[in-house]
Structure 1
């Protein structure tokens, strides 16, 4: 036996014939990019004056003394991230308002001027120390847009920003990721800055040469094209960087899917917030994303060859709120259960088109739980089958497969089939793999699983194949309301009992039991929760906030009925309508209005600047009761709620679209407009 083992080791260590060289294909990741991809999941923290002013984009004119967390505990942030299974934290060291979470020498809008610790505090110092203590990586977001600094909009500002980057990258230890976005100026026709990206990146690289730069164009990793957390079902890690620049519009689809066979390795990072907004707001304490929702995001990001950057905003105490922390722990527990036992580890693995004379690319490496070993077809063979066979039937509902990306991303298409009797039945047909692809499948029982590689850019090189049986999860109830105010609650899980409330309180088994639709014409909050096992096992609480039901409303603007039909899936968009564009609505009766809402059409025509008017006769409008801009609406095209400074009574309201979010799209669209 010893001689046999020695002989095998001698073969495996041989030079010429043991492993014919596998030539890398196409754009390749750097060592730093490979390590970054293996992180998979880490935390984003938005924190600053916006936390205290209830804004998403501050204007830079805030009194810095408003920043005054009473119980700031960066160790609690790091401890929470660690327990959640995250590998690092990226913090908004400077957002668009220009406020610096460290006492920068190049700004007068910093923690030094705040009330926190009498101006002696330094958030970055505390967080970097906490990350080091808990074994987490430390990253920073510095917005180049600065709505406070007087030099913004001049050539001098670029050096100011470079100096701030130098401060952050020399004072707080290792930085694994530098997050940039392309935000620039104060909306259409606002003050703009010509950013010197070469200066910015060169400054950072001087101190952290292997840092991963995030932006629309990388070069380390790219925005995934939305702020919902979902990569494309096809997701290449390559793009042609020369086609992209930070802040460009109209590139979201390409960023979401990447570009096949492109020139540069720039993998996707999916960013999303655990709450509706990026910064903390007390109004969203009951709107933390549910566990099924977060699982969808995880499988739609990490499961689609992207990293997941999950934002967990720090509250006004300077702590992660308990609702967010609880949900993070639920997610960790569920993911641990989903991937607890790799059924493929006990499979007999066979392949077709095996690479000849190459023990180091044997099929045994597909299930050895070692990413750095792999199987490959012979040169020029772009198709193959991988078979996992079992002595006894197994039941699985997850399949994970990985390419060995240091040699490039290659696979273009594959299928998954299972043996039923004497025939294989296809259960999944997909496109790209990349670093990791995870498929959520129905419960399937079989003795043989076949993965067919249908096409590739070069000989496929597969590192791992894994199978799991994840526990079933209670689905979220879905709350909908018609134009007439009829509310329905649906759920996909089998035999649940759903309880609901209409006053914003938490549903329990003592609440109203849902059996059929009910009327809810006013504005307010409905919550629903599903229970199984005779009420012993609850699901997540789902919250839906409604405006006034537009039952008797009429759109005075010709053809605009879809904007007030209670259905955000329909849209009013008239190609003849240009900015400024008016949408006038007759509510039929005098109504007390506290605010208005605008739901954009994600397909285009998104309004950025607005004015909102009210009238009792539809003729005399006076001055607008609200005027401003929808912060970040282009990147996060979700329903916008604007509260008025004081309630008004009116029969008519008018929303005026003043300027577009995308200057190339000059036709405004209204998916829905309402009042509360």
Structure 2
């Protein structure tokens, strides 16, 4: 078992997975023909003439995302109804047959241009399920789908993510489509080698629900069998029932612990993404204008996802004007203000630390304060337990601590506790299992100068690239 755990400690992310993880927080934009029919899932028989967002403004979308602190945007270029937001050469069911921009528009291009100008990464969602195309359910459909992938991945510059869900229904001929996943991946790797393939893909794992529920211990190193697309499809939504987004499947709470990975034939780096919508639905509905998630709800998901070794994909559904609604924009701005003010002043900027053990000078414990994710502290190989004492420059009031492992070296830490010194005694502040890319520790406000991090269990040897202390402005 020791050799197995040592090997598990050395499973590391690819360059594309690391770049994706560092984005942390980004937007899903569900927009299309459903916006104009007041549906979540279209039937594929909608008239393209319905699509006419007369005030569409991609810059407004980007500015709303940036106000919340987001770093990317994924657009539903084609949903299950098959309607394309770009003038695809392979179908007439697209914006080229709509009144928008007199049939000469390309919404994907306008969103890409706004993202580039605004400094956001751009990603595409392309539904494998197509309720419009008559080839669905045949091998010819896979050729059609790959041709559309080529359009999106060739004509619009760098793509950070291709997002696939597992929705799969019956075609008009009564046949269920057998998706050529390997063929899809081949096209993506050829044209956009830096893009992660998410959910029904080998790079990013779905958290398992659309309710914003996060695991207490979200491991990035998991058994390779979790990549099985057919299993992902089985757990995906098969009906537009309105309840799926609220459902939380808790049976898979423990995916990467020693118990979970013991006996696995192969372990892989397969990190999690948490996705949920700012409203009950994924597409815009006027009836939900007063049902935007509260600031407290959004902060809770942010701290548990970004702060729990996941990323946070928050859906924002533009309305029939082609704008993100004022209520959503206001909430996004509030969220961004809290995050910027909370993480604006790191109290360890001139702190001092001592560790029970250090590998060498290159990995000195002072590395945890240097703001560089590529430098880190670690003890000698094989040392699984260690402690670090932090001395702030003076007594400070704080309620948030941010920890980061050097995940380029793997995910190692399995159990930790943080204490603070009060009147000469060490008092427990909080306890956690994993850290991974980032752990945001939240606790009732305390005042202290001395803090101790004790790593009680780790794989082979722990690493730590960041230890930051903050006082939040919103409780």
TM normalised by structure 2 equals 0.90
Alpha-carbon distance, 1:296 to partner: 0.4
The structure 2 residue matched to 1:59, chosen from 43, 46, 52, is 43
Kept in 1, the 8 Å contact 2:137–2:174? The answer is no
Secondary structure of the structure 1 residue equivalent to 2:464: strand
Corresponding residue of 2:163: 179
Corresponding residue of 1:424: 426
The answer to whether 1:34 aligns with 2:18 is yes
The structure 2 residue matched to 1:290, chosen from 279, 288, 294, is 294
Corresponding residue of 1:371: 373
Q: Alpha-carbon deviations, 1:586-612, whole Å to 9, x = none?
A: xxxxxxxxxxxxxxxxxxxxxxxxxxx
Name the CA distance, whole Å, in 2 between partners of 1:322 and 1:250.
Answer: 34
* Unmatched 5+ stretches in structure 2: 1-5, 237-248
Secondary structure of the structure 2 residue equivalent to 1:390: strand
Greater C-alpha radius of gyration: 1
Task: Report the number of matched residues.
Answer: 448
Corresponding residue of 2:203: 220
Alpha-carbon distance, 1:427 to partner: 2.0
Change (3 A) 1:469 1:111: same
Corresponding residue of 2:331: 327
Name the CA distance, whole Å, in 2 between partners of 1:236 and 1:26.
Answer: 14
For residues 442-453 of structure 1, the aligned pairs below 5 Å read 442-453=444-455
Name which structure has the greater RCO, CA cutoff 8 Å, separation 6+. 2
Kept in 1, the 8 Å contact 2:8–2:267? The answer is no
Select the structure that is richer in strand: 1
Change (3 A) 1:292 1:132: same
Corresponding residue of 1:104: 88
Q: Alpha-carbon deviations, 1:629-657, whole Å to 9, x = none?
A: xxxxxxxxxxxxxxxxxxxxxxxxxxxxx
Q: Alpha-carbon deviations, 1:150-184, whole Å to 9, x = none?
A: 01011111111111101111111111100001110
Q: Alpha-carbon deviations, 1:503-552, whole Å to 9, x = none?
A: xxxxxxxxxxxxxxxxxxxxxxxxxxxxxxxxxxxxxxxxxxxxxxxxxx
Corresponding residue of 1:668: none
The structure 1 residue matched to 2:101, chosen from 97, 117, 122, is 117
More divergent stretch after superposition (365-374 vs 408-417): 365-374
Name the CA distance, whole Å, in 2 between partners of 1:140 and 1:449.
Answer: 44
* Unmatched 5+ stretches in structure 1: 1-21, 474-676
The structure 2 residue matched to 1:136, chosen from 120, 138, 158, is 120
Corresponding residue of 2:244: none
Change (3 A) 1:37 1:393: same
Q: Alpha-carbon deviations, 1:304-329, whole Å to 9, x = none?
A: 01111111111100111111111111
Kept in 1, the 8 Å contact 2:420–2:428? The answer is yes
Alpha-carbon distance, 1:349 to partner: 0.7
Alpha-carbon distance, 1:391 to partner: 5.2
Alpha-carbon distance, 1:354 to partner: 2.2
Corresponding residue of 2:219: 236
The answer to whether 1:259 aligns with 2:256 is yes
Kept in 1, the 8 Å contact 2:206–2:273? The answer is yes
Once superposed, what is the RMSD of the aligned Cα atoms? 2.0
The answer to whether 1:381 aligns with 2:383 is yes
Name the CA distance, whole Å, in 2 between partners of 1:379 and 1:293.
Answer: 41
Alpha-carbon distance, 1:237 to partner: 0.8
More divergent stretch after superposition (458-467 vs 115-124): 115-124
The structure 2 residue matched to 1:433, chosen from 409, 423, 435, is 435
Name the CA distance, whole Å, in 1 between partners of 2:7 and 2:222.
Answer: 21
The structure 2 residue matched to 1:402, chosen from 387, 404, 415, is 404
Name the CA distance, whole Å, in 1 between partners of 2:254 and 2:346.
Answer: 29
Secondary structure of the structure 2 residue equivalent to 1:395: strand
Alpha-carbon distance, 1:454 to partner: 0.7
Alpha-carbon distance, 1:200 to partner: 0.6
Alpha-carbon distance, 1:438 to partner: 0.2
Change (3 A) 1:219 1:39: same
Name the CA distance, whole Å, in 1 between partners of 2:54 and 2:98.
Answer: 12
Name the CA distance, whole Å, in 1 between partners of 2:234 and 2:191.
Answer: 31
Secondary structure of the structure 1 residue equivalent to 2:299: helix
Change (3 A) 1:409 1:197: same
TM normalised by structure 1 equals 0.64
Kept in 1, the 8 Å contact 2:202–2:227? The answer is no
Name the CA distance, whole Å, in 2 between partners of 1:394 and 1:263.
Answer: 42
Secondary structure of the structure 1 residue equivalent to 2:152: helix
Alpha-carbon distance, 1:400 to partner: 0.5
More divergent stretch after superposition (129-138 vs 385-394): 385-394
Change (3 A) 1:186 1:439: farther
Change (3 A) 1:228 1:256: farther
The structure 2 residue matched to 1:126, chosen from 99, 102, 110, is 110
Change (3 A) 1:158 1:209: same
Name the CA distance, whole Å, in 2 between partners of 1:148 and 1:410.
Answer: 47
Change (3 A) 1:391 1:62: closer
Name the CA distance, whole Å, in 1 between partners of 2:273 and 2:191.
Answer: 23
Corresponding residue of 1:249: 234
Alpha-carbon distance, 1:444 to partner: 1.1
Name the CA distance, whole Å, in 2 between partners of 1:58 and 1:406.
Answer: 42
Kept in 1, the 8 Å contact 2:74–2:124? The answer is yes
Q: Alpha-carbon deviations, 1:462-481, whole Å to 9, x = none?
A: 100011111243xxxxxxxx
For residues 337-376 of structure 1, the aligned pairs below 5 Å read 337-355=341-359, 358-376=360-378
Kept in 1, the 8 Å contact 2:60–2:323? The answer is yes
Kept in 2, the 8 Å contact 1:342–1:467? The answer is yes
The answer to whether 1:310 aligns with 2:314 is yes
